[in-house]
Amino acid sequence: MDYRILGPLELRSAGRPVALGGERQQKLLALLLLGTGTVVSFDRLIDELWEDPPQTARRQVCNAAAAVRRVVTRGGGRLTTSTHGYRLDLPDGRLDADLFRAQVRDAEVAAREGTPAQAVALLQSALDLWRGPVLAGLGSASIDAAAEGLREQRLQAVERLAELRLELGEVASLLGELTGQVAEHPLRESLRATLMRALDLAGRRGDALTVFEQGRRALAEELGADPGPELRSLHAELLRAEPKPEPERPATRISRSSLPFDIPDFTGRESEVDLLVEAIGTRSPAIVTIEGMGGIGKTALVVHVAHRLEDRFPDGRCYVDLRGFTADTPPMAAGAALESLLRQIGVSPDQIPVDPAARRDLWLTETAQRRVLVVLDNAADAAQVRPLLPGAPGAVVLIVSRCHLMAIEGAVPVSLDVLPAADAVALFRRIAGPERADAEPEAVADVISLCGRLPLAIRIAASRFCRRPWSVAHLAEQLRDRQRRARTFTANDLSVAGVLALSYHHLAADRRKLFRSLALVPGTDFDAYAAAALAGVPVYDAQDVLEELVECNLLMQRSSDRYCLHDLVRDCARDLADAADPPSELDTARRRLFDYYLHLADVRGRRSLPGRRGFETGLTWEPELPASASEEDDIRQLRAEYKNMVAVADYASAHGWHVHAWQLPCLLTPYLTRVGLRSGVLELSRNALKAAQALGDRCGESMALTNIAFALREAGRHGEVLEFLDRAIAISRELGDLPAAVGGLRDLGASQVQAGMLDDAAASFAEAVALARSIDDQRAEVNSTIDLGFVDCNLGRYREADARFRDALAMHQLGGYVGGEVVVLINIGWLAQLRGRDAEAAVALERAVRLSREIGMSRGEGISLAWLGVTYRRQGRIADALAVGREALESARRMDLREPEGDALNGLAETCLAAGRLREAEALLWDAEELAMAGALPMVRARAHEGLAHVAARRGDPDWARTHWERAVALYPDGAVDAENPRAHLDDAGAQCMRCVSGQETPRALTVVREIASVG
């Protein structure tokens, strides 16, 4: 695997690119590559990956690291986890930055040894490794600092290469390159000196002196400094030397330029500048469209690039504002634009025809033999632009628009997003003043975030700041309040809201109404179904409007079916909604949206979250939902929307929407706990409890209490758990809701098991069985019976457990409940493993897999496969164990099931260990450990450390093995019989346990494995 950071992050294996995943994984790998060989702390990674870290930041870092480890391990790298963070180690020569530095060092050695040609070759090879700005598109404080350091090293190599080539007599070929380099880096004195020497050797001493004078002015204007000793000495030397005659130059056509002023504080956009320059240099003629929302900096970028390239267009640089989005002004007609363009290239007014078609013909004729650059700013659409395009091969047209101009044939589109964080800070510093900005870096970061990294907003805020005796923190406080933010983002006749509203006013009425309503979305993104709910229209109509809003850059589209508003566009939409729509209409739209999320959580949880407690939702209408053909679709939709549902619940709680405030968390909590997103459950459930109590809804109160108990149990606060569950059970009994009481008793038993109170748990489960039987709730009775069997197994009462499981199997078969039969078969197979009856276990688990597939029960299939793999490994069927283990892992990941994924990772790792694949086993175990840390799964994590101990033991490292076994014992909850596995090895280094046995032999230390009946 080769790792490339000298340009956009890229991984290549055998010459082919390797996919890494999303931006977070890429940024994490970039940070690790920049710190190769050292530990990068969790705190630093969190600070670099988020401007405002969420509560789940550490878990998300662990998830991203797991994805990175899977990639780098395959390429021979090693990512290790320590207490403080991660360390990445790579084989020598695999990181392009390291290779660049090595070749530069070798070039210096060659130069010192008197072989400049070899030095030139080495430096050129080193510079050829660069593909663009370092880690382009992945901004953070550390990445930006490292990029700046590497950029400086590159410039030093460029300077040194030019010096050596000049020593070898390469004058003519150097002049063009040096001229461009000096224009790009006007303050690099060594580059300027080399250019002056090259010009002098080419017989152009006058130009050399001009280059010195240009440098002197640049240094004085930018830094208030004089040229350094090298430049002054060379200048004096050129003045003293005998003049050399300069070659005659051919007469050139008078160059005309109508370009606007290039703003002196233009900052950043290096990748976009490079993209524009490349597009212009590789096409003939070149047409480039620069598209983006109002205030994004489109015109500033294009004018900056046009000025940078103006020496390439000696026959004219034209600029026309087409007024496509100008207040109270219609877009410019093609005839008027053509008249302006013809005048700009020198055609006298009396020669310009009146007829627009004749003007078009004259424009094509006049530009046929010219090299001209044409900037068409503020274009309304493709129809307005098309008559203005010159057909000459040497022409370049840069078109600026708020809309996507897809109908312009052959155009290269460049879409502008907000500024990267580092560029945004740099722009603020340049306008506000570096001393005041640098005194409050954290407040500057707040301001940048509140400006949404929109250049226009940053420019206005910084301009206002530099004229006030404010602190940056005071400016940030002004921007946090929406009303004051609108005033702060206004300067004279220019305002951010006004610029953004120009796009809005060009929309049709129904488009404007939907745009305004999107400000009501509490979450960060939305799909067409949510928009349809807001507007109360069919989803296809909403989809058409959303696509139009994307095309005019009022909406951003982060994936194929997800949309979002820039923060300041949201402000604009909210102000427009407040002005145009009565509060009652806004509340009606908001209720439709909230009902949509409530209905989606309810319907999608019925199939994918079996055993979930149901209730009648308080819908005022039944919204249209996206199609779902499977359990996987259900989970995918919940995964896409759960953050929005949490945001709706938070809004509902804060604004007195009590029904949504309790019902949505109670519907959503089973999904959050299922996929390991447990950290926010406690606050959500407490808010749900307050809302239910405010309504006097005792059913909601009972459900919220149960969810609070679950969250407290995950945090190990067992005393509080029992108290909350007792209250929930009492309310259920009081209401006569005995099915809910059964569920509460089962939750109580599970909490008692986790607390190591096995006898109390048995009593709770037995009471649940009796209560379920009394109300003839067969399914609850069976599930409670399985719970009792779990306790029996932990107490070593295998006969009792076997009897309960067989009774449960018979009851499910009698009732025709195939899903329940799958659950019991998994438990029977697990129990058979505990008793050393692997053939019996295989029969039960194979039947569970088959039945799961017949009824499409993906969760049951994944768990069955995971434990079937364990059984095959114990039987010595290693190839079969590897195959089903990989199937189990794929199934768990497809369904986003965190705990089954952990079981599958650990089981597959144990099989890899039995097959002698130590490196693969180790990678899987670290993935399991990280997943368990992120999802608060102590049993999965403990088992992972058992596996790592086995790996260390196989490698002949008993001390490290003991450390992992001791860690596993400490991680297992009190009373967990699984702890006997590592204890067996700690007592006897030669012992075998359920984790390491393979073949038909009986392990010397057979222990009980935990129950997995949570399927039901």
pLDDT digits (tens, 9 = 90+) for 331-374: 888 888 898 888 888 888 778 887 888 888 888 888 877 888 89
For residue 267, which amino acid is it?
T
Give the strands of the sheet with 412-415, arranged side by side: 317-321, 373-379, 396-401, 286-291, 412-415
The pLDDT assigned to 770 comes to: 94
Could you count the other beta carbons within 10 Å of the beta carbon of residue 744? 30
Q: What is residue 85's three-state secondary structure?
A: strand
The pLDDT assigned to 63 comes to: 79
Q: What is the mean pLDDT of residues 835-842?
A: 90
Q: What is residue 453's three-state secondary structure?
A: coil
Higher pLDDT, 600 or 275: 600
- Between CA 86 and CA 84 the distance in angstroms is 7
Q: Are 562 and 524 spatial neighbours (Cβ–Cβ below 8 Å)?
A: no
**Residue 307 pLDDT > 70, yes or no?**
yes
Higher pLDDT, 828 or 971: 828
**Residue 1008 pLDDT > 50, yes or no?**
no
pLDDT grade, residue 1009 (50/70/90)?
very low
pLDDT grade, residue 438 (50/70/90)?
confident
Query: Is cis: bond before 133, omega within 30 of 0?
Result: no
The pLDDT assigned to 1002 comes to: 42
Q: What is the mean pLDDT of residues 221-237?
A: 83
> pLDDT above 70 covers what percent of the chain?
92
Q: What is the mean pLDDT of residues 898-907?
A: 88
Residues in contact with 121: Cβ distance below 8 Å, sequence separation at least 6, in sequence order: none
**Residue 1011 pLDDT > 70, yes or no?**
no
Compute the chain's Rg from CA coordinates. 35
Q: What is residue 319's three-state secondary structure?
A: strand
Higher pLDDT, 235 or 283: 235
Give the strands of the sheet with 16-17, arranged side by side: 2-4, 10-13, 16-17
CA dihedral sign of residues 417, 418, 423, 426: positive
Mark out the alpha helices in 372-440 (DSSP H runs): 382-385, 421-432, 434-438
pLDDT grade, residue 730 (50/70/90)?
very high
Strands 286-291 and 16-17, bridge-based pairing:
unpaired
Higher pLDDT, 60 or 728: 728
The pLDDT assigned to 674 comes to: 66
pLDDT grade, residue 530 (50/70/90)?
very high
Q: Are 921 and 947 spatial neighbours (Cβ–Cβ below 8 Å)?
A: yes
Q: Are 545 and 514 spatial neighbours (Cβ–Cβ below 8 Å)?
A: yes
- Among candidates 533, 535, 525, 534, which has minimal Cα distance to 562? 525
Could you count the other beta carbons within 10 Å of the beta carbon of residue 1000? 11
Residues in contact with 31: Cβ distance below 8 Å, sequence separation at least 6, in sequence order: 40, 44, 45, 48, 140, 142, 143
Q: What is residue 880's three-state secondary structure?
A: helix
The pLDDT assigned to 1010 comes to: 34
**Residue 1016 pLDDT > 60, yes or no?**
no
Q: What is residue 320's three-state secondary structure?
A: strand
Tokens coding 975: 């009373």
pLDDT grade, residue 491 (50/70/90)?
low
Q: What is residue 588's three-state secondary structure?
A: helix
**Residue 601 pLDDT > 50, yes or no?**
yes
Strand partners, 401: 291, 379
**Residue 564 pLDDT > 60, yes or no?**
yes
Q: Are 79 and 32 spatial neighbours (Cβ–Cβ below 8 Å)?
A: yes
The pLDDT assigned to 147 comes to: 86
pLDDT grade, residue 659 (50/70/90)?
very high
Tokens coding 595: 């009902």
- Give me the chain's average pLDDT, please: 84
State the residue for tokens 């274009």. 379
The pLDDT assigned to 35 comes to: 85
Tokens coding 966: 């001791």
Q: Are 375 and 266 spatial neighbours (Cβ–Cβ below 8 Å)?
A: no
**Residue 208 pLDDT > 90, yes or no?**
no
Residue 632's φ and ψ, nearest 5 degrees, are -60, -40
Cβ burial of 437 (10 Å; 0-12, 13-18, 19+) is buried
**Residue 618 pLDDT > 80, yes or no?**
no
Q: What is residue 570's three-state secondary structure?
A: helix
CA dihedral sign of residues 17, 19, 25, 26: positive
Lowest mean pLDDT among 572-586, 672-686, 962-976: 672-686
The pLDDT assigned to 246 comes to: 46
The pLDDT assigned to 173 comes to: 64
Q: Are 914 and 878 spatial neighbours (Cβ–Cβ below 8 Å)?
A: yes
Higher pLDDT, 601 or 84: 601
**Residue 679 pLDDT > 70, yes or no?**
no
- Among candidates 164, 193, 171, which has minimal Cα distance to 181? 193
pLDDT grade, residue 84 (50/70/90)?
confident
Higher pLDDT, 659 or 406: 659
The pLDDT assigned to 494 comes to: 63
Q: What is the mean pLDDT of residues 943-957?
A: 92
Residue 291's φ and ψ, nearest 5 degrees, are -120, 150
- Between CA 384 and CA 380 the distance in angstroms is 7
- Between CA 231 and CA 217 the distance in angstroms is 13
- Between CA 400 and CA 506 the distance in angstroms is 17
Distance from first CA to last CA of the chain, Å, rounded? 44
pLDDT grade, residue 591 (50/70/90)?
very high
Q: What is the mean pLDDT of residues 169-179?
A: 73
